[in-house]
A and B are shown apart, each in its own frame.
Chain A
Amino acid sequence: MQHLWLIPTLPLAGFLVNGLAGRRASKTFVNAVAIGSVFLAFLWTVKTLFALAPLETPHIERYFTWIASGDLRIGFDFAVDRLSAVMLMVVTGVGLLIHIYAAGYMAHEGGYYRFFAFLNLFMFFMLVLVLAANYLLLFVGWEGVGLCSYLLIGFYFLRKSAADAGKKAFIVNRIGDFGFSLAVFLIFVAFGTLDFGQVFAKAASLPVEHTAGLLTAVCLLLMLGAAGKSAQVPLYVWLPDAMEGPTPVSALIHAATMVTAGVYMVARSATLFTRAPLALDVVALIGLFTAVLAASIGLVQNDIKKVFAYSTVSQLGYMFLGLGAGAFSAGIFHLVTHAFFKALLFLGAGSVIHALSGEQDLRQMGGLRSKIPVTFWTMLCAAVAIAGVPPFSGFYSKDEILLAAHHHAPWMYWVGVITAGMTAFYVFRAMFMAFFGSYRGRAHAHESPLVMTAPLMALAALSLAGGKIDVPRILEPVFPRGEAHHSPALVAISVGAGFAGIALAWLLYVVRPALAGALAERTGFLYRLLYGKYFLDEIYDALVVRPIERVSRVLLWRGMDVGLIDGAVNGAGNRAQGIGGVLRKLQSGYIRSYAVWVLAGAVLMLVTVALAGGGR
């Protein structure tokens, strides 16, 4: 026993203390509880992992039986293998840095204790998700992080857009969760267990031709769940809106940890996916498509957080491309490096926003390089990492994915390279617009306090050097490495695409700033299409959201009762009134109308059984 349960329980305790007593406590106390609990969880993770090293087989701790029916058993079990170890380090490590940062960022906000309580609750559920040893417990964490995400997106609830964004995230995630829960039930029916070890053992022992159809269905449903949580096509629309939440939330939940839960879940289910090649192809295609789509939208956005949000969607697409190409360890590698540099980009953006007292529009920035130098230099580290400049972290993980994609299908590699170029362009576009040129805004810029810049520096170091952590080698016991695909030419091409993107951004936004506007004018339709995010929100709204609302409103409330019941019961006079615009609904308030429903139900049932002849 290594007492794995302590890892999630510590943040839970933090949540309870802050949630119940935080309102009356001082900020120092709230900070100490919130950051302290995550710090202790981090320490305990490190200690546990050292104790368990080398951890070549999973370490499982069974606490008690949760649900048993017949000889089936679902336990409250936690497990660590190298995959979850990597995730644990990322979640607790990056989580800790972001908690520290948040103490500075949120210092002047209302609802301080509430924010940290939710943040700790999020850590609890995320750690449960990572530590879970079966699909059901993973689902607990899965739902829990969704809840916290919802609460934190809507943290600035006075803004209507924030409340709406929370709602949107929630609804879109329901669709994904629906798929995930069906997948879990299918697994349960097919294998009679939900325990990871047993499910994978059974799936591996069955001949492929017997299980291909079933596993394909399971994997596609799992991918639907992953697409919801990890913001992939067609369910990515919630993530850009989720940027309404406070910036540390964007960094922690919507960049570094929660949105990667889908990647983790698919990687965790690798045994199933490798036996369902069709599903794996779907994963790769969705990932690739999302990567291109989101990157192209990111090219023209003017809100600094929106740029990074689309960047996150795009990079998540990269991860799924890696998974789909069969390079699971490459996907996880990119997950890790992405956690470093994307968290840093968000925190840096937060620092910029903080410095400009809430301004998020890139067009109102400029020339901040000298005013907030620490923020600039740290963000630059993240930018070179995400652009794939060697020898920084993004370079390693991205190339790992692109090489695997080339091995899988060469055209995917080329699309990936184009995306890499676009990535470099939009990140440096944001950097140049914010930090170069002359200052266009009005607010007085000031550098953030040390409590915020220290985490930036730590993350900057990780972004630069993180590529040296050879995650694929660490993960070898989990995902055996195939033959290495080394191809200096392919690497050079993708690096070249990155540099081309940077150079283009330099040209358009530093050397000849007028050119960018002219280009936007010239390519009017394309620009509007990208700026309008392909109008997908509007399309969804028209095709899905509004019809549902109309059905529930018109058909259910108005149509039936006014037309049928009142007409029959109340006679012509009342009907005229009904048509006269009084919006009466199914539940009309009239007892006699209710009785008619009872009677109609009875008659309907009688007719049904009479026609069925007693069910024979």
Chain B
Amino acid sequence: MSQYYTATDHFVLVPAIMLALFGCAILLFDFWVFPEPKQRKWLLAFLALGEAFAGYGLWQQHTYIAGQGIAELTAFQGSLVVDGFSLFFNWMFIAAASIVALMSYRYLEVEGEHHGEYYSLILLAQCGMYFLASGADLITLFVGLELMALCFYIMVGFLRSDKRSNEAAMKYLLLGGFSSGFLAYGFSLLYGLSGSTKLSEIGVAIARRDPADPVLLLAMVTTTVGLLFKISAVPFHMWAPDAYEGAPTTVTAYLSVGSKAASIAFLLRIFLGPLASARAAWEPLLVFAAIASLTVGNLAAISQHNIKRLLAYSSISHAGYMLLGLVAGNETGIKGVAVYVLVYTFTNLGVFLVIVALRREGLVGDNIDDLAGLMHKSPGYALLMLICLLSLAGIPPTAGFIGKYYIFLSLIQAGRYVLAAAAALYVAVAIYYYFRIVRSMFMSDAEDAGAMETTFGVRVAAALTGLGTLGIGIFPEPFLRFAGQSLIR
């Protein structure tokens, strides 16, 4: 260990190292040790090992922070930071990546594109997310973002012979690059304004500047554009429906929770860090984006027939709710965003899991009609889907209600009654399209009587998401406390 790489640096970096290491190991083993396609399921063990080691590193960080009673631990001269916030999100990424990996195996077999790279990409994308949640420097954050995004570009286009998958990947790639350009441009101006790439120093420099400085406003707007694109807020949301629909369903699941959560973490870091003093300038922008997201997401979802597309629009509207928590800006609001993301992760994974489980030879399973009569075919999965949809709609006692509850509460505490009423109204709209799916499952006959073919992994993942969605709804206390710790900064 030298002065350039201290023990603390290593301690902070361990989870990322583990993820990257096992990501690369999977590539090597896939090639050398498991040449037979049948053997590829063993790669799941590598992934599990990688997650376990990363989780162990995270656990050590967790206990260290709690044991020392410190708020944060910085490394690499302040480029990386471990605090309640980063731990909260990183635990969530581990859960999301593991659940996605569990549900992927059979799905990829059916698609005929079961390659080892897939698991490697899951880990490497998670490595990028790690830097997004823990980064405290423009460079770290940018590289983390691009690492995550590049992995997702590939995964979205993973079905190489499928035209739609290609198209989705291309759209995501081009628009993602476009928005990254905006983000990087904003970063360059932030750097020029403050003379540093460290978030904390940028924050100090910006607080001292005239808030009406045109360069500052340009920097803020371009950064905002890049960030809002990543969380698919309106009017930067256009990529999401296409990418969600075209991508392999397991990837859509990962994209909708992993990428979204990491981008929200990134967004919170930027807006509550360096841009905190310019709140008066960016708040109206976020209000606009939030309301526009709620409007477009909810109204466009009504007329969709493809569930993945419907969920894309629904995820756009959820981005709107998350932004509202940030707009409220009080402690309840930020905690609300954290809880919302957590809840959304489990719930959305549950919904996608059912769609993945439906997939078999001759049935794509992403049309609402494909769910017809699921209650007959497989009551367990129908029940899981029902719970998850209720949660997405925010109906108690499911987890989704807890998330929405905190967002509404924060808005009311902040005196934003109009926003609260609008958000409540859109909840009423949202229930309508979620229940189209419910109706299809419970109130129509199965068109084909084919039973669902599930694997052990899918069943475990189903149990995890179902337990998460109901558990957080009924016993939210530990999760709320956990989210509350994430505020420490």
Contact = CB atoms under 8 A, between A and B. Distances in A.
Q: Is there a direct interface between A and B, measured as CB atoms under 8 Å apart in the complex?
A: yes
Contacts of B397: 66, 140
Contact of B405 (A67, A151, A171, A587): A67
Contacts of A175: 428
B225 interface: yes
A598 B235 contact: yes
B396 A68 contact: no
Contact of B235 (A553, A589, A597, A610): A597
Interface string B212-224: 1110111011101
A265 to B, nearest CB: 16
B477 interface: yes
A361 interface: no
A595 interface: yes
Given A19-B379, A591-B171, A594-B175, A602 B281 contact: no
A572 interface: no
Interface stretch (B63-71, B190-198, B295-303, B458-466): B295-303
B225 A598 contact: yes
B139 to A, nearest CB: 23
A601 B211 contact: no
A185 B420 contact: yes
A151 B221 contact: no
A178 interface: yes
A185 B380 CA distance: 34
A23 B175 contact: no
Given A143-B396, A615-B211, A609 B220 contact: yes
A118 B402 CA distance: 25
B402 A614 contact: no
Given A163-B443, A602-B221, A615-B283, A65 B477 contact: yes
Nearest to A171: B432
Contact of A23 (B179, B281, B376): B376
Interface in B254-284: 278-284
Given A163-B443, A189-B412, A609 B285 contact: yes
Contact of A155 (B218, B284, B443): B443
A584 B396 CA distance: 38
A19 B383 contact: yes
Interface in A579-616: 586-587, 589, 591, 593-595, 597-598, 600-602, 604-606, 608-610, 612-616
A185 B428 contact: no
A552 interface: yes
Contact of B242 (A147, A151, A589): A589
Contacts of A605: 221, 224-225, 285, 288
A118 to B, nearest CB: 8
Nearest to B236: A598
Contact of B217 (A151, A589, A606): A606
B211 A178 contact: no
A174 interface: yes
A335 to B, nearest CB: 25
A404 to B, nearest CB: 35
Nearest to B440: A157
A118 B379 CA distance: 13
Given A606-B217, A609-B221, A591 B379 contact: no
Contacts of A177: 428
Contacts of A181: 424, 427
B409 interface: yes
A69 B407 CA distance: 13
B475 interface: yes
A117 B170 CA distance: 47
Contacts of A248: none
Contacts of B239: 594
B444 A591 contact: no
B397 to A, nearest CB: 5
Contacts of A600: 235
Contacts of B396: 136, 139-140, 143
A182 B238 contact: no
A143 B395 contact: yes
B281 A609 contact: yes
A409 interface: no
Given A67-B402, A143-B395, A614-B211, A597 B238 contact: yes
Nearest to B429: A174
Given A69-B332, A597-B235, A614-B217, A608 B285 contact: yes
B210 interface: yes
Interface residues of B, number: 80
Contacts of B477: 65, 67-68
B182 A602 contact: yes
B56 interface: no
B476 interface: yes
Q: For A150, A594, A612, which residue has the most chain B Cβ atoms within 10 angstroms? A: A594
A612 B284 contact: yes
A151 B409 contact: no
Interface string B390-423: 1000011100001001101100100000001100
B340 interface: no
A69 to B, nearest CB: 7
A553 B383 CA distance: 32
Given A552-B302, A605-B285, A154 B210 contact: no
A3 B112 CA distance: 54
A118 B241 CA distance: 34
B225 A174 contact: no
A520 B143 CA distance: 80
A587 B376 contact: no
Contacts of A568: none
B284 A614 contact: no
Interface string B444-474: 1100000000000000000000000000001
B171 A594 contact: yes
B229 interface: yes
A188 B409 CA distance: 9
Contact of B179 (A182, A598, A616): A598
Contacts of B179: 598
Contacts of B288: 605, 608
B219 to A, nearest CB: 11
B442 interface: yes
Nearest to B238: A594
Nearest to A114: B375
A64 interface: yes
| Best-surrounded residue of A68, A556, A587 (most CB of chain B within 10 A) | A587
B226 to A, nearest CB: 10
Given A140-B396, A616-B212, A616-B280, A606 B218 contact: yes
B480 interface: yes
Contacts of B408: 185
Interface string A169-203: 01100110110011001001100000000000000
Contacts of B380: 20
A69 B408 CA distance: 13
A455 interface: no
A14 interface: no
Nearest to B393: A143
B42 interface: no
B229 A598 contact: yes
A421 interface: no
A556 B296 CA distance: 8
Contacts of A331: none
A166 interface: yes
Given A150-B439, A595-B175, 19 more contacts: A20-B379, A20-B380, A23-B376, A23-B379, A66-B397, A68-B477, A136-B396, A139-B396, A143-B395, A147-B390, A157-B444, A170-B435, A594-B238, A606-B221, A609-B220, A610-B217, A614-B212, A615-B279, A615-B280
The 9 residue pairs across chains A and B that have the minimum distance between CB atoms: A615-B280, A614-B212, A594-B238, A614-B211, A157-B443, A601-B235, A174-B428, A615-B281, A140-B396
Interface of A: 19-20, 23, 64-69, 76, 114, 118, 136, 139-140, 143, 147, 150-151, 154-155, 157-158, 163, 166-167, 170-171, 174-175, 177-178, 181-182, 185, 188-189, 552-553, 556, 586-587, 589, 591, 593-595, 597-598, 600-602, 604-606, 608-610, 612-616
